[in-house]
Amino acid sequence: MQISVEEALNKLNAEQSRLFAKVMEHGTLSVEIYRPVKTDPQTPHKQDELYVVISGSGEFINGNERSAFGKGDVLFVPAGVEHRFVNFTDDFATWVIFYGPEGGEK
């Protein structure tokens, strides 16, 4: 399985008004491309997740922590934790990788 950033963004653009598009699945693993506009309306997820920033920069709130992020950064969020991107640039886009059992890895 392989998908390029360009192919994923094209899929996202084809699914008009969507903030994300699922681009790959295998077992408990799913990969999405995510591109919020102005605000990030996420709520906690049932699985652990990784973000790999494709483009843009901003700040990431992960539970009680806030950190700056930029292109190429990798961010981890345990299942069930409040998180969101804030103060991000208009060109922000990220891969989202969900994996493992509901409730996260132990």
Sequence spans of domains, the chain: 5-99
CATH number of 5-99: 2.60.120.10
Residue 59 has pLDDT above 90, yes or no: yes
Read off the pTM.
Answer: 0.91
Percentage, residues of the chain above pLDDT 90: 85
Mean pLDDT of 72-83: 97
Q: What is the pLDDT of residue 17?
A: 64
Least confident of 8-22, 28-42, 48-62, 68-82: 8-22
Q: What is residue 15's predicted lDDT score, i.e. its pLDDT?
A: 72
Q: Is the pLDDT of residue 57 over 90?
A: yes
Q: What is the chain's mean pLDDT, rounded?
A: 94
Query: String of b and e for 74-106 (b: at least 16 CB within 10 Å)?
Result: ebebbbebebbbeebeeebbbbbbbbbeeebee
